[in-house]
Amino acid sequence: MNNIVAIVGRPNVGKSTFFNRLIQRREAIVDSVSGVTRDRNYGKSEWNGKEFSVIDTGGYIKGSDDIFEGEIRRQVELAIDEADAIIFVVDVEEGITPMDDEVAKLLRKVKKPVILVVNKVDNAMREKDAFEFYNLGLGDYYTISGMSGSGTGELLDKLVEVLPEMPEVTEEVEPLPRFCVVGRPNAGKSSFINALIGEDRFVVTDIAGTTRDAIDTKYNRFGFEFNLVDTAGIRRKAKVKEDLEFYSVMRSVRAIEHSDVCLLVIDATRGFEGQDQSIFWLAEKNRKGIVILVNKWDLVEKDTMSARDYERKIREELQPFTDVPILFISALTKQRLLKALETAVEVFENRKQRISTSKFNELMLPIIEATPPPALKGKYVKIKYCMQLPTPTPQFVFFANLPQYVKDPYKRFIENKLREQYNFSGVPIDIYFRQK
């Protein structure tokens, strides 16, 4: 289980630069994902062997200056509720502003670790200027320069030291699949779960799998057995405005990271909106199985839009990862609920399938021979061997003489061919080219 760290502060103090620095530390280790990474506000970082998730609140604030204050206050309140530690970024050039005071006032009451970070300190003179931030009443501060990265080492040492220990999730002998139900507020997650569990509430046990978090319900009906992770019922705060995009994403992070397959419930009457997309890319970035459930399909005028048109529109938004099951359901009339479960189980199976190396080579090498990677600077890329890596999610490696010359379009071509041959519906795939 990962801790969640939220970066808060008013606009233009350098939260995003600092966030990018934290995330790159992680992405230097793993290959960057091909295609566009849509969600710039969430990522994973690692320091001294401890991995944690980082959320940059800055990217979620939209609106004019007078809206800012309310938005920032709401986001800080949400971060206080949901995160395990909070990094409060201020700007040495501007000194303490009234908005910094406001944020500090909220953070002084908090029982969780709060680290005050004074940004843009890139010389000794500014080091002296930073003293005034003691007036915020948050104790010691850390001075950094988000641009050059100086000071981030000590800050991260402190951060991993104060992060609470996460409870180890005890696994059963053959762990049950974990399906989490995610989606924007009011998409019908609760109705979907209630319809599944039924009025007789077929609950065997409630395992409090994580800290103050989504509750696991062991589900056992119609020949299915799995843990259902419900994000819908997580403590609703009257204070937090339901329509905040940040709200949906923050609420979903822990549940998604902690599941095998995400059932993304969207509201048919509203379409596949920005918030739905953020949650989709969050699940994709975490390499989880994904099933999209278009709920409230009974409310849509069928003559205006058929399921086929609707599905096509969603798939256009999902480029380049379009191999995802999309089902039209109604929690109210219980239409296709069983199909939704069957599909989730299928995606779970797809995600853990293993392909033997000999079969994989037999199949892929002729395809590669027929359509080799395009030559670059007169040099030809030869791929002689490929295999599936022994990782929890599907990853494939292709050994080539000049792996650096293989570009993203060819990786996508290989992925499409792979998906044509094997059923990886709903499952993100990683493809690597390595020196043979």
In the annotated binding site, the residues are: 9-16, 56-60, 119-122, 183-190, 230-234, 295-298
Beta bridge partners of 143: 118
Q: What are phi and psi of 397, to 5 degrees?
A: -120, 135
User: Which residues are CB-contacts of 1 (< 8 A; sequence separation ≥ 6)?
Assistant: 166, 167, 168, 169, 210, 254, 257, 258
Q: Which residues are annotated as a binding site for GTP?
A: 9-16, 56-60, 119-122, 183-190, 230-234, 295-298
Residues in the chain: 436
Q: Contact, 407 vs 340, CB < 8 A?
A: no
C-beta of residue 46 within 8 angstroms of C-beta of residue 104: no
Distance of alpha carbon 333 from alpha carbon 99, whole angstroms: 49
Give me the helices (H) in 371-435, please.
Answer: 408-421
Q: What is the CA radius of gyration of the chain?
A: 24
Q: How far apart are CA 180 and CA 288, in angstroms?
A: 10
CA angle (187 as vertex; 258, 268 as ends), nearest 5: 120
Terminal-residue alpha carbon distance, the chain:
35
Count the neighbouring beta carbons within 10 Å of the beta carbon of residue 203. 13
User: Cβ(231)–Cβ(189) under 8 Å?
Assistant: yes
